[in-house]
Chains A and B, each alone.
Chain A
Amino acid sequence: MKNFQYAKAATAEEACGLSGKETRFHGGGIDLMGEMKDYIDSPSRVIDVSDLDQQITDKGDHWLIGGAVKLVAIVRHDALKKSLPGLVQSAEHVGSPQIRNVATVGGNIAQHSRCWYYRQPDVKCLKKGGSQCYACEGINKYHSIFAEGACISPLVSNLGIALSALDARVQVMRKGAVRDMSMEAFYELADVNPRAHNSLQPDDLVVSVKVPKGRKSSSYLQISEKGAFDWALVSCAAAADLQDGILRNVRLYLGVVSPIPYSREKAVAFLAGKKLNEETVAEAARLLMAKADPFEHNGYKVPMARAMAKRALLALEAS
């Protein structure tokens, strides 16, 4: 990797103050160092934000989770397990223990594409400023089946999907001021701008995430090729209020099928007030997948996502 200047920030303000041209923030470093080692990005300055806010705080109607909270802290947090099982399950599925011990909440939701063309050091794809998305015509087994834009690399953040279902909001510091973004807003740029991984500007820093406790039931599931430590082919998160078997306030998101967390209003609306059972979830899953538009090698994601959606919804009962 290319050499750079390094500083460990003590506060978010200091981190933003140190941020200049060609700066990258370093949380757990797994995503960033992978890009740097493969010369996909070669920042001239790296600001280590791994020691910033590491608090998980119960704020009554919501949880406030610091941007530098390590995923291991979420996995081991008993109260969170009870309150937001979907979030904890999404963190449990991230990488390996070694990765969860360093990876941060901010780093996970802001992580960059894992598309194998993007990560290939000798391919200059659309996302890296090239003229072509090679995956569209190439080998797109791991790519999106719902893609609006020209880059079809899917969002792979586990937490991003779970937090979308939980209707979380992300606090982002931009030029010293904190702004509050919905999960939709946090990712929407990736759908329209092929070079974007999310909606963050280069020196934006994720300082915290607010997760409402409103929905009492939540779940997260993923399916991979291997039994452990493998990226999801499809993931699904659901959250709802479930009383006497009746679904209300349902949110349902799929991961790794689109450059952003994917949901469909029709499917969600269908679920409102319905009894949680096999027929309900089957119809919701059908509606959710109705607009899927797979490529040559990823048609399998359609039935797979349907199955994951059904199972994530049914898992609400247990949570």
Chain B
Amino acid sequence: MNDDKKNNEAFRFSRRGFIKTAGPTTAAAMAGRVDEAVAEIEKSEKQELVGPAASPIELNINGETRRLKVEPRVTLLEVLRNHIGHTGSKEVCDRAQCGACTVLLEGEPVNACMMLAVAAQGKSIRTIEGISASGKLTSLQKEFVEHDALMCGFCTPGFITSLTALLEQAPNATDEQIQEACSGHLCRCGTYPKVLKAARAAAGRRGDA
């Protein structure tokens, strides 16, 4: 695929995504801003470099298309927490050392603190808010509650996010797989034994030692 074609396709995807999100009722009211934003994206995609000034980006977060203007240095975590109000992901170490900001990028856990928002475009982003979007707890979350796999709760969304990805890929995950999925996470209260128990139970091994 040559570059022009690729860019065009990306552009078509962007516009479709936006119109779908805006919906028929708000589209008219926001028409002026839609045209403006589309024009800006069109312009920016013709130039390959963006920034250092804020420029429009488009992110797919929990199945919704989000459009905003940010500087290239703004991290995905910053966007999630301070631009769109998804505060379930936490900044704890700010250096990919603790896992509290873990989100799923194309279904795989990544540290949102070390990812530029601009670089996360075109990929599906799933956060803790998207894991029980209906308001109903997942079986993993229920096991966390039942086993008391949390204390102050600050690390908990990160663990849930990583283990959700694991259990979606390996519904009967082994202890070794659970340990590995949790290896990028730190908990200062010391909930690990119960996190392990809860994850085991969610993997179908309730009551195992």
- B-binding residues in A (CB < 8 A): 1-8, 10-11, 14, 18, 26, 29-30, 33-34, 36-37, 44-46, 48, 50, 72, 95-99, 101-102, 228-229
With both beta carbons as reference points, the residue of chain B lying nearest to A229 in the complex is identified as B183
Among candidates A14, A30, A97, A229, residue contacting B114 with C-beta atoms closer than 8 Å: A30
Q: Would A3 and B183 count as touching, CB distance under 8 A?
A: no
Contact status of A95 and B116, CB under 8 A, knowing A6-B50, A101-B109, A229-B183: no
Q: Would B49 and A45 count as touching, CB distance under 8 A?
A: yes
Q: Would A46 and B115 count as touching, CB distance under 8 A?
A: no
B 15-34 binary contact with A (CB < 8 Å = 1; else 0): 00000000000000000000
Q: How far does the alpha carbon of A2 sit from the alpha carbon of B159 in the complex, in Å?
A: 31
Q: Would B115 and A228 count as touching, CB distance under 8 A?
A: no
Q: Would A10 and B3 count as touching, CB distance under 8 A?
A: yes
Q: Let me know if B95 is at the binding interface, CB within 8 A.
A: yes
Q: Would B184 and A3 count as touching, CB distance under 8 A?
A: no
Instruction: A3-B52, A101-B105 are known; give 9 further A-B pairs, CB within 8 A.
Output: A5-B50, A6-B116, A6-B119, A97-B109, A98-B96, A98-B102, A98-B162, A98-B184, A99-B111
Among candidates B99, B114, B162, residue contacting A29 with C-beta atoms closer than 8 Å: B114
Residues of A within 8 A of B48 (CB): 7-8, 14, 18
Q: How far does the alpha carbon of A70 sit from the alpha carbon of B94 in the complex, in Å?
A: 22
Among candidates A8, A29, A34, A229, residue contacting B115 with C-beta atoms closer than 8 Å: A29
Q: Let me know if B129 is at the binding interface, CB within 8 A.
A: no
Q: Would A98 and B52 count as touching, CB distance under 8 A?
A: no
Among candidates B6, B71, B105, B162, residue contacting A3 with C-beta atoms closer than 8 Å: B71
Q: Would A102 and B110 count as touching, CB distance under 8 A?
A: yes
Q: Would B49 and A18 count as touching, CB distance under 8 A?
A: yes
Among candidates A1, A2, A18, A96, residue contacting B99 with C-beta atoms closer than 8 Å: A96
Q: Let me know if B130 is at the binding interface, CB within 8 A.
A: no
Q: How far does the alpha carbon of A18 sit from the alpha carbon of B91 in the complex, in Å?
A: 32
Q: Let me know if B40 is at the binding interface, CB within 8 A.
A: no
Contact status of A5 and B51, CB under 8 A, knowing A98-B102, A101-B108: yes
Interface centre among A18, A50, A102 (most CB of B within 10 A): A102
Q: Would B184 and A26 count as touching, CB distance under 8 A?
A: no
Q: Would A98 and B118 count as touching, CB distance under 8 A?
A: no
Residues of A within 8 A of B102 (CB): 98
Within residues 92 to 130 of chain B, which ones have a CB less than 8 A from any CB in chain A? Answer: 94-96, 99, 102, 105, 108-111, 114-116, 118-119
Q: Would B184 and A95 count as touching, CB distance under 8 A?
A: yes
Q: Let me know if B180 is at the binding interface, CB within 8 A.
A: yes
Residues of B within 8 A of A34 (CB): 95-96, 114
Q: How far does the alpha carbon of A95 sit from the alpha carbon of B162 in the complex, in Å?
A: 15
Q: Let me know if B181 is at the binding interface, CB within 8 A.
A: yes
- Chain B interfacial residues counted at CB < 8 A: 33
Secondary structure of the A side of the interface?
Answer: mixed
Min CB–CB distance B116 → chain A (angstroms) = 7
Q: Would A6 and B118 count as touching, CB distance under 8 A?
A: yes
Residues of A within 8 A of B108 (CB): 72, 97, 101
Residues of A within 8 A of B51 (CB): 3-6
Contact status of A26 and B49, CB under 8 A, knowing A98-B99, A101-B110: no
* 20 residue pairs bridging A and B, Cβ less than 8 Å apart: A3-B73, A4-B51, A6-B119, A7-B49, A7-B50, A8-B48, A8-B119, A10-B3, A18-B48, A26-B119, A29-B115, A33-B75, A96-B99, A97-B162, A97-B180, A98-B99, A98-B109, A98-B111, A102-B105, A102-B111
Q: How far does the alpha carbon of A102 sit from the alpha carbon of B115 in the complex, in Å?
A: 9
Q: Would A30 and B96 count as touching, CB distance under 8 A?
A: yes
Min CB–CB distance B19 → chain A (angstroms) = 24
Q: Would B184 and A29 count as touching, CB distance under 8 A?
A: no
Q: Would B110 and A5 count as touching, CB distance under 8 A?
A: no
Residues of B within 8 A of A98 (CB): 96, 99, 102, 109-111, 162, 184
Interface centre among A7, A10, A33 (most CB of B within 10 A): A33
Q: How far does the alpha carbon of A45 sit from the alpha carbon of B52 in the complex, in Å?
A: 9
Min CB–CB distance B122 → chain A (angstroms) = 9
With both beta carbons as reference points, the residue of chain B lying nearest to A10 in the complex is identified as B3
Min CB–CB distance A21 → chain B (angstroms) = 14
Q: Would B184 and A2 count as touching, CB distance under 8 A?
A: no
